Structure 1
């Protein structure tokens, strides 16, 4: 898909890979790279292509490994015009460069798809446990999330201007996958994404028999969550692994000065699962360092 040119006259050209079976069936989109620095999502979609998982038994599979190709080249979150592409949907034919691209995605791709998985990663040195995000009170998405089988599923409302919001308004059933961190590839996260996608396709009767399926996690549903913020500035020493369950008062990290004089303890304010961990070596007071569940689905 070619939308326009940059100021250097370089084409804004986004590769789209389409595989169609001779047998009719659903149309599924696997997309990544809305944020150009979230490379782990791109790796998941790449693996789906390399392993030929994107060749369906029936129906059609569309893969867009990198939507924001120039952000990917520069390893930046934003589109070339400085905007967050995932905040300008449904876009405008005469708007900013990002807005024009969002417009063409909405007009030329979304109307053709029935289901989608959009792959993302954490930003700002924060590592997300592999997780699916869905809107509350959508029974079909709940079933698809169970089928995908990520370690965690978070209920979260659609954000205005997001790709997910536009898909929802156009009756596309979309799972948003989060896993890993920006400018990084994590093999475990990649495997979770690929295996979940295979189970997703198997559920839709689109996966060819040659592809083996691993057992799904019994996903933990999280209704609400909070950020734990650094209580001091300094060198950050995280002590807990991503995805673990902690109890109130448990030591999560220490924050020290670089001169060996002071060390501050950071403890869990309540019990919950750690679904995001900051791995930055230096933090400032108030920085988000852990994302912890506060309410699990009964």
Structure 2
């Protein structure tokens, strides 16, 4: 019986990870004003058999914790024992923001607007450069995990770049409720991935500073499904039928017609039609109420939970689609049947459901 070919070690800079091993590595970035070193930490799982390389990243915005929890669970799944290829996982890209519960770097810059970065720029730019130079060239596919901002939860969704056919194929395998096809955003991590011809899936779900069940379950099951699609894990039959994702090529924000106390009437995942009332703004002094109506039909994929709004504030993020009737049925399936996870993967069940806005 012929022997399996010997798999060479996986090399990142000066670090080597042998086949069948995992290691946590640290890539130097720079130093804080306290003279403490900032490093980019990654976990590398190098399979015993050849295959592609997947890069998982989370917390480019430091307060978007759902992605870190998704990666933690992926790293604990027993399926990785039979991994083909290599998984590079970076649970916390923006470590300064993570520890201070902040979206931004210490200088208040948005790390996701500093790519591909510079080796001689400020700390965020140097961090972006290490990720762009040291890890991106080694991978075949990227999955970047995000959430909405504070008090702005997102429906589980994948965002891909226009004309990225490989990413679209993998996004369908991920099977979120919605796939949003959007133009490349310059100076973002997604934009840099596309510049290097790396298919990239940007997963958005939930909100900052909070863990929730749909975000974690869609994230974990989606990543594992993509890994099976890539041939990194063995295929298996899905435990239950899953609704096909709704694909949208355009979205917009419904904004506050005036300032006041805001009451939303449309939850995440709701199909809304042009002219329908989806909330209202009330004068705090009781003299008037202003309806918030849809200007275009679509699906609510993001929403503010703030109790107040200024005139022009974004209230509802709506993805447009020309198949609203079928979309309503598919979204109903999504909200009623969360992806199931086994006990090993769902080791710390999270009781909050951002779609139903309930405690489970």
- After TM superposition, the score normalised by the length of structure 1 is 0.93
Match for residue 70 of structure 1? Answer: 96
Q: Retained in 1: the 8 A contact 2:150–2:209? A: no
Could you report, residue by residue, the CA deviation over 1:38-58 in whole angstroms, capped at 9, with x for unpaired residues? 111112112212334555520
Q: Secondary structure of 1:154's partner?
A: strand
The structure having more radius of gyration, on CA atoms, is: 2
Is 1:160 paired with 2:186? yes
2:56 to 30, 34, 43: 30
Match for residue 299 of structure 2? Answer: 273
Match for residue 243 of structure 1? Answer: 269
2:156 to 130, 133, 153: 130
RMSD: 2.0
**Residues 1:56 and 1:216: Cα distance change in structure 2 (over 3 Å):** farther
Match for residue 85 of structure 2? Answer: 59
Return 5+ residue gaps in structure 2 as ranges. 1-26, 325-360
Q: Retained in 2: the 8 A contact 1:248–1:270? A: yes
Is 1:2 paired with 2:28? yes
- After TM superposition, the score normalised by the length of structure 2 is 0.78
Q: Secondary structure of 1:253's partner?
A: strand
Alignment of 1:255-274 (within 5 A): 255-274=281-300
Return 5+ residue gaps in structure 1 as ranges. none
Question: How far has the Cα of 1:215 moved from its partner?
Answer: 4.2
Match for residue 11 of structure 1? Answer: 37
Q: Distance in 1 between matches of 2:210 and 2:221?
A: 19
Could you report, residue by residue, the CA deviation over 1:230-255 in whole angstroms, capped at 9, with x for unpaired residues? 11211111111101101222110121
Question: How far has the Cα of 1:10 moved from its partner?
Answer: 2.3
Q: Retained in 1: the 8 A contact 2:275–2:295? A: yes
Q: Which moved more, 1:221-230 or 1:162-171?
A: 162-171
Q: Distance in 1 between matches of 2:120 and 2:323?
A: 44
**Residues 1:53 and 1:101: Cα distance change in structure 2 (over 3 Å):** farther
